[in-house]
Amino acid sequence: MQLTKQGHSCIRLDKGGPVLVIDPGGYTEPGAVQGAAAVLITHEHPDHFNEGHVRAALDADPAVEVWTLASVATLLSAAYPGRVHTVGHGDMFSAAGFDIQVHGELHAVIHPDIPRVTNVGYLVDGTVFHPGDALTVPDRPVETLLLPINAPWCKVGETADYVREVRPEHVVDVHDGLLSEIGVDLYGRVLGALTDTDRRHLVSGEAQQL
């Protein structure tokens, strides 16, 4: 499986066949969904869901399908009947030749005065886990964890503890669109000191074989 970073929290997964894209948002290159067979969206926040990007993919290819939670599905389903699927914690389905398991229910707390939205994470082929904006721990082993490293809700100590709890073999940084190179280096050094997991930081457009 090849993972390609597409800016901030968006990734493309490719096994040499149909392509799966997760979380094409406002900090994602517009071409991130081009050629995708399926799109997964973890939650409604605009850095994870850019409606224009997703509609462009659906309009370009009548075979493209979307899986997401209800708050996003309601924005798309009327215009694309039968192609937008609502999922929640515990669901299992196949998309673009990948087997997907859904974990989690709520976005991490930003502040007590800010209402929490729903958020789901996706475990792909039992190996790669994208948690969206939450520190959800799946009830099964994770080989590669896509790790949010910077966000309004994110604290680096909690991020390190999350890696320790999930215990993945590999970590790939996501949710890094607000960081400078200095910030990436700092977070990397702190996480490296607190965890012993193999970690990779990809720039947008860079790929890694999993």
Q: List pLDDT tens digits, range 145-162.
A: 999 999 999 999 999 999
Residue 31: the pLDDT is 87
pLDDT per position as a tens digit, 97-143: 999 999 999 999 999 999 999 999 999 999 999 999 999 999 999 99
Nearest to 18 by CA among 83, 84, 63: 63
What is the number of other CB atoms lying within 10 angstroms of the CB of residue 65? 21
Domain that holds residue 187: 2-209
Residue 38: the pLDDT is 98
pLDDT over 90 for what percent of the chain? 99
| CATH number of the domain encompassing residue 150 | 3.60.15.10
Say how many domains are in the chain.
1
Residue 1 in this model has a pLDDT that exceeds 90: yes
Structure tokens at 100: 């997907």
pTM check: above 0.85: yes
Q: Which helix (H) or strand (E) holds 51?
A: helix 51-60
